[in-house]
Amino acid sequence: MGNRTISVGIIFVAAFLAASARAQPTSYPAEGQGLPAPLPLFPSNNWWNVDVSAAPLDVNSQSYINFINQPYSSPRGLHPDFGGQVSPGSTDVYGIPFAVVLGTQPRVTVIFDLYSSQSDGVGQNFYPIPIEAETQPYWIEGGPAGNVDLRGAQDRHLLVVDRDNDSLYELYNVWFDGGHNQWHAGSGAFWDMKTNNTRPLGWTSADAAGLQILPGLVRYDEAYNAYGTNVPAIGHAFRVTVRSTNGYVYPASHVAGNTAGALPMGARLRLKASTPLPAGSDAGFTRIFNALKKYGLIVADNGSDMYITGTYDVNWNNDVLNPLFGALTASDFEVVQLGWTPPSGAASLSSVSVNPASVIGGSSSTGTVGLNNAAPSGGALVALSSSSAAASVPASVKVAAGATSATFPISTAGVSISTAAQISGTYSSVTKTAILTVNPPPPAATRFYTLTPCRILDTRNAAGPFGAPSLAAGATRTFVLAGQCGIPADAKAVSVNITVVPTSAGALKVNPAGATPSSATAISFAAGRTLANNGMAFLGVNGDVSVEDDQVSGTTDLIIDTNGYFK
């Protein structure tokens, strides 16, 4: 995820609609239009919408610009990473589409194959994905329908706005498994567009930096006041990629590289005030140019240097845009002081969330409190409480000075029936809540059922929920075994043969997903030695297991075969 170079989103109207036919939508889902007012998206003091024209310069600004330019014979030019169809009638497209839906849009469950522990809505009917996205082209960025598995070649982002609830849902690396009527993704993030909530530190989102994608896109409707949009100017920064990064700074929350001399995720660049408008600029590019000076760029992913991300729209004219963007180079930009935030008003509590939102009693969850503005000097102490003895929280959690979020542990007790615990946070007379569901353990398995020997997964195969990538040191992957190789949904455990092909020494732990991880190892191994071990893997409430790689470095390929199950 840290080295992604292709982005993917989702659209909800055929791409061949002519420009003259596009207007403010009369029905939903709608593609590329119908966003809730006012614009820009998110509060006016959100990091995407902050005026950086007078922000202090970073002391290493020129060194960072030199790093970007270093591989090239001349200063690196900008490139618009957006447009229309690759060729007329092609299913391949440029840019990231977005969808707008109503609050009544049915929610579906998404299985997260890469970053389940850092995703929202795990195991819930949570994401409002229209059924058309499953089989129709032009719904997912890149073009092909959701049931075409391109996860190994593209980012496959999927972006959906719930206009009634002012909410944004973003997914990374999506695929629709038609055989099981199931959406898969690498990670997923929910954003309340009425707040400035950030991801917990260390978490990704649908973007490598842990940021939102949609509010940072160059949009046709804003550039040309199209489709009923009527704004005096573009009021936000743009998403940009660079070839490598080094850590992260506010507003980012996730590391996706440690290259010395490179910019961190979340870094801001702004067009120098002295840079002249390129000759031949039309009205749309002029608005983009002015936004580059006032709001700048935010580094959000690893990719091609100085590629500016925008929406998929058949009305973009790349014959005009490409030379205008190319007339600007990295040397026309400067780097704003890393981690800079403008003076803010009083902070108030904006959200409380829990992840995972459903656990087996005795397992743990993590809570997050969010503020609408940076915490004051001395921090913000948020009082915590739980409505049920089934879930216990600390008396309070402190958001550090200058930060906008903090996490806290939630422990749970065994229960005989599913119990909903309301987790509450209070700060400055504002209370926010979230629901944690504590479930009883599944019934004990009492009988073994034989299956024809069958391979469930092999990470040496093509990327997918039961294929690549290999397990990385310290990482955890979740695999849904129920539904594979004849294993029924009500199976309690699976007889497995685990084979590892490691590059360095280590061990694997296999636990029911959603349960407190056991310290026992399923298999230990030496570097470069293929090793197998038989055992029984207990399943979580969704028929899944979590596999934790305890290597210090390197990777491990994992193969799991089965010959039966218990229930």
Inter-CA distances, 442 with 357, 419, 482, Å: 17, 15, 14
Using the 3D structure, point to which of 439, 467, 482 is the last residue of a domain: 439
417 and 288 assigned to the same domain:
no
Using the 3D structure, point to which of 404, 439, 474 is the last residue of a domain: 439
The answer to whether position 4 is within a domain reads no
The answer to whether position 540 is within a domain reads yes
Best CA proximity match to 119, nearest among 299, 424, 354 = 354
137 and 213 assigned to the same domain:
yes
288 and 367 assigned to the same domain:
no
Q: What is the CATH number of the domain that holds 472?
A: 2.60.120
Within 187-270, residue ranges assigned H as helices are: 220-224
Distance (Å, whole) CA 404 – CA 303: 28
The structural domain count of the chain equals 3
501 and 389 assigned to the same domain:
no
288 and 181 assigned to the same domain:
yes
DSSP, residue by residue, 520-542: --SEEE-TT--EEEEEEEE--TT
φ and ψ at residue 379, rounded to 5 degrees: 85, 175
The answer to whether position 462 is within a domain reads yes
The answer to whether position 416 is within a domain reads yes
Q: Which domain holds residue 545?
A: 448-566
Cis peptide before 38 (omega within 30 of 0): yes
Using the 3D structure, point to which of 385, 418, 439 is the last residue of a domain: 439
Instruction: State residue 9's pLDDT score.
Output: 38
b/e map 528-554, b = 16+ CB within 10 Å: eeeeeeeebbbbbbbbbbbbbbebeeb
Strand partners, 30: 100
DSSP, residue by residue, 157-209: -EEEEETTTTEEEEEES-EEETTTTEEEESEEEEEETTS---PPTT---SSTT
Per DSSP (E only), the strands in 400-554 are 405-412, 419-427, 430-439, 448-458, 471-472, 476-480, 493-502, 506-512, 523-525, 531-538, 544-549
The answer to whether position 558 is within a domain reads yes
* DSSP β-ladder status, 396-399 and 380-386: antiparallel
Distance (Å, whole) CA 499 – CA 533: 7
153 and 295 assigned to the same domain:
yes
157 and 275 assigned to the same domain:
yes
299 and 210 assigned to the same domain:
yes
368 and 327 assigned to the same domain:
no
The answer to whether position 13 is within a domain reads no
Instruction: Quote the tokens at residue 71.
Output: 């591989």
205 and 301 assigned to the same domain:
yes
Distance (Å, whole) CA 439 – CA 434: 16
Strand partners, 250: none
Distance (Å, whole) CA 494 – CA 479: 13
Could you list the pLDDT tens digit for every one of the 567 residues in the chain? 544 433 333 333 333 333 333 456 668 888 888 888 888 999 888 899 999 998 999 999 999 999 999 999 999 999 999 999 998 889 899 999 898 889 888 999 999 999 999 999 998 889 999 888 888 888 788 888 889 899 888 888 999 999 999 999 999 999 999 999 999 999 999 999 988 888 998 999 999 999 999 999 999 999 998 877 778 889 999 999 999 999 999 999 999 999 999 999 999 999 999 999 999 999 999 999 999 999 999 999 999 999 999 999 999 999 999 999 999 999 999 999 999 987 666 788 888 998 888 888 888 899 999 888 888 777 889 999 998 888 999 999 999 887 888 999 999 998 777 788 889 999 877 888 888 888 887 766 678 899 999 999 999 998 888 888 888 888 889 899 999 999 998 888 898 889 989 888 888 888 888 776 665 567 777 788 788 877 778 888 888 888 888 888 888 999 999 999 988
What is the H or E stretch that residue 386 is in?
strand 380-386
Q: What is the CATH number of the domain that holds 416?
A: 2.60.40.10
458 and 314 assigned to the same domain:
no
Best CA proximity match to 402, nearest among 350, 339, 351 = 339
Best CA proximity match to 97, nearest among 35, 176, 181, 165 = 35
430 and 452 assigned to the same domain:
no
The answer to whether position 306 is within a domain reads yes
Contacts of 285 (CB under 8 A, 6+ apart): 223, 278, 320, 321, 324
**End-to-end CA gap in the chain:** 37
Q: At what angle do helices 283-294 and 318-326 cross, to 10 degrees?
A: 40
Say what the pTM is.
0.62
The edge-to-edge listing of strands for the beta sheet with 175-177 is 110-112, 182-185, 175-177
Strand partners, 426: 383, 431
The answer to whether position 29 is within a domain reads yes
